[in-house]
Amino acid sequence: MKLNLPNFRNINFYVMFLADMLIFTLALLTAYLFRFDFAIPSQYIVQFKGMLKYVLLFKAVLFVLFGQYRGMWRYTSLDDYWKLLQVTAVQSLILISFVVFRFTFTGVPRSIFVIDWMLTLVLCSGLRISIRAFFTKSEPVVPSAERKNILIIGAGSSAEKISRELTGNPAQYQLVGFIDDDRGKKGRTIHGKPVLGNINSMDDVVEKLSVDEIFIAVSQASGEQMRTIADACKSTGAPYKILPAMTEIMDGKVDIKALRDVNYLDLLGRSPVSLDTERIKGYLTGQTVLVTGCGGSIGSELCRQIARFKPRHIVLVDSGEYNLYEIQMELHYTLGFTEYTTVLGSIADRELMRKTFKDHAPSVVFHAAAYKHVPMLERNPWQAVRNNIVGSRTIMEAAVEAGVERFVVVSTDKAVRPTNVMGASKRVTELLMQSLQGKGTRFMAVRFGNVVGSSGSVIPLFRRQIEAGGPVTVTHPDVTRYFMSIAEASQLILQAGSMGETGTGGEIFVLDMGVPVKIADMARDLIRLSGKEPDVDVEIAFTGLREGEKLYEELITQGEGIVRTEHEKILVLGSDDLATAEDLEGELSSLFTASENHDGDTIRTVLMRLVPEYVPADN
């Protein structure tokens, strides 16, 4: 327990202190009364008087030292009760030890100490709860007409926390009850408010109780369940908000201010990420970490997450001036992290990268810099070679030369049986990573699908099209993709980075992306979330697959050995047959020459030799 002295200038301290001294006296006296059936022998009255001065001294000192007079008792909580339990237990043990040392328990009834401890705990906690109850009842009464009637969907831990927040805001809200599909909860209450029924009965509940707003507090739900909840809320006509997933509330705070409108990420039904923070701290805390592509969607989120683990320094590398400035300002002024260095330049600049590694000596590198737009790179394949392959090779070799301990490559599901230059270039990056394993730096790659809200993501485009009245353009009725949030992907990248220490190196970790989503279904969900009806208010138009695109994405190639790791959302591919530098050197030389000559046909030909599973799409 931490010493937490009170404010001795506050008169409330002295009032509470005297009240506790009275309780201590009463508790000890009552303990003797209980022990002797309310007829204390004269010799024990003398013993009581002699014992009282020690009891008052020990209890008063401990209550002061351990912060029992720092709190505002009108806000007494369960946490305060546990602290009180700890303090009273400690003071009882000290008192017993003193009596054993001073009197060896001769003539002292042992039951006195147990009864005294129980009465002290009950009376002290009762006093504090009574103060809270008094102030709660004395809050000004607000007419019901001026308060919003709130219905909460869910009757679990998140709903309980929100209900407590609502109770603490009586001037604004009036909780009428809960909705939950668990039949065992119907009719039961949380803080005095009943579980009124399930989702199917929500229309009747909203109408009968004049509900003004609905709060969704469901901690875990599948995408289909969340769609059902959203549709049910919409059918009532009442506005509704949702409590964000815990990936968005990293400190675990759950309150009314966190509620927001339902968005598409909620409909994906991604469950919260459970992180082994101790392992992540083990390789990030107190270390110098370098992040390439730090201004991009994944790179910037990696920087935010890394800053949580208190590294000694972060080296921010990006070729985009504005993106680099944005993440610098966010780290400095929003997150309060000032131990960083910005490096503006291309990862393909060999001398700049060597100088950067020499000057800062990072022990961990997250390589998120890459061109990722599939149709753009189909039209400009030499840029995929220069940035994704030449740039990756340059920074990997600089890392080996500088003695970096751990190097994590951010890869993509498009590297699996690629049909486009972008995917093939990322697969070559994986091969390069494996070819450098064993030279002092532990390399690993993390492969995953699309992230919602990333730069180039389809969702911002759909939203703009919906705002313009449509049509929403989808390439093909059957095209499907894997999706996860930026925060979830970044957290799992950090977790996978901690796992490389247990393997042989050169591993390719694969994030569990769940169930693939049809892009056409995504478009319809977004239209509904905008309060419109698909194919009625907003048309969906199919435009045909773009250059290099395929209908379905994959996370592993047939024949790749894949096993689960200790983390439920991370898998690892076998790395028995690693590529070597000698295997790649000749083809890479031809590839680099073709890119210098802007020769797209030759680039594709060489990529097919480097990546035999690469088959360029006809579209």
Active site residues: 414
Q: ∠499-500-502 over CA atoms, to 5°?
A: 75
The contacts of residue 57 (CB under 8 Å, 6+ apart) are: none
Residues 363 and 288: beta-carbon distance below 8 Å: yes
Residue owning tokens 């991009």: 296
Which of 293, 341, 344, 335 minimizes the C-alpha distance to 313? 341
Residue owning tokens 């060999």: 350
**What Rg value do the Cα atoms of the chain yield, rounded?**
32
Amino acid at 330: E
Secondary structure of residue 95 in the 3-state scheme: helix
Q: ∠184-215-308 over CA atoms, to 5°?
A: 105
End-to-end Cα separation, the chain, in angstroms: 67
Residue owning tokens 């049910």: 232
The DSSP code sequence of 406-467 is EEEEE--GGGSS-SSHHHHHHHHHHHHHHHTTTSSSEEEEEE--EEET-TT-HHHHHHHHHH
Residue owning tokens 């009197």: 103
Listed in order, strand segments (DSSP E) in 517-605 are: 517-518, 540-542, 562-564, 570-573
From residue 274, give the alpha-carbon distance in Å to each of 41, 83, 537, 567, 618: 61, 28, 40, 8, 42
Residue owning tokens 């994590």: 408
Amino acid at 375: P
User: β-strands 442-447, 507-511: how paired?
Assistant: parallel
From residue 15, give the alpha-carbon distance in Å to each of 8, 11, 22, 317, 379: 11, 7, 11, 59, 78
**Sign of the CA dihedral 297, 299, 300, 304?**
positive
Q: What is the dihedral of CA 17, 22, 24, 28, to 10 degrees?
A: 170
DSSP conformation class of 484: E
DSSP conformation class of 141: P
Task: Provide the token pair at 513.
Answer: 């992306």
Task: Provide the token pair at 136.
Answer: 């709660």
